[in-house]
Amino acid sequence: MNEHRIDVLFTAEAIAARIAGLATEIREAGFRENVLVVAVLKGGFVFAADLIRALHGAGVSPEVDFMSLSSYRDGTASSGTVTVLRDLETDVAGRNVLIVDDILESGRTLAYAVRLLEERGAARVALAVLLDKPGHRVAAIEGDFVGFTCPDLFVVGFGMDMGHAYRELPYIGHVVAAK
């Protein structure tokens, strides 16, 4: 049961419209052939699921794989260490790779992912994020395809969680307070 008040920031309809626009942007940027979508678990899976269907609508036929990354970023000893918890099954060499995640915030995790896939010989690596929270960037990385710029609030829904809850919400909301 939901225990918090959640104010809607981006409706399901607004998200769907934006994802359709992103798919067109991605195709127009040259992601047409040999495309591998890398969905970053767990938060990126809902966005990735909708984005691949929007890509189909835009005439792009991607393959899909998944990776799970863990970053340790406690304020004191923030080394930016990233661990691959679940690696890809696909060889990315020569592929046009589109990394898909929920939020770009510090950018540490995604900067690591981009570098890793480049080192493995991807022809091209680009980053699609549903939300950009630019206020806390640490790594030198920007999204190539960004759904929305997000206010500096804690958000949930559309794959994003708070303590493992709320990923199932069909909209993106701001957790305001306990009910």
User: Under the rule (CB under 6 A), what is the footprint of ligand IMP?
Assistant: 43, 71, 101-110, 154-156, 160
Min separation Cβ 169 and ligand IMP, Å: 12
Q: Is 47 left (phi over 0), alpha (psi -120 to 50) or beta?
A: alpha
107 binding partner (options Mg ion, ligand IMP, none; Cβ < 5 to 8 Å by kind): ligand IMP
- Measured from the CB atom, the residue of 55 and 129 that comes closer to ligand IMP is 129
Min separation Cβ 70 and ligand IMP, Å: 10
Cβ(141)–Cβ(112) below 8 Å? no
CA 101/CA 147 separation, integer angstroms? 11
102: Cα separation from own chain's centroid: 3
CA 1/CA 124 separation, integer angstroms? 43
Min separation Cβ 179 and Mg ion, Å: 26
- Measured from the CB atom, the residue of 43 and 62 that comes closer to Mg ion is 43
User: What six digits make up the tokens of 161?
Assistant: 């969680």
Min separation Cβ 102 and Mg ion, Å: 6
Beta-sheet pairing, 124-132 with 145-149: parallel
155 binding partner (options ligand IMP, Mg ion, none; Cβ < 5 to 8 Å by kind): ligand IMP
Cβ(53)–Cβ(64) below 8 Å? no
- Measured from the CB atom, the residue of 47 and 60 that comes closer to ligand IMP is 47
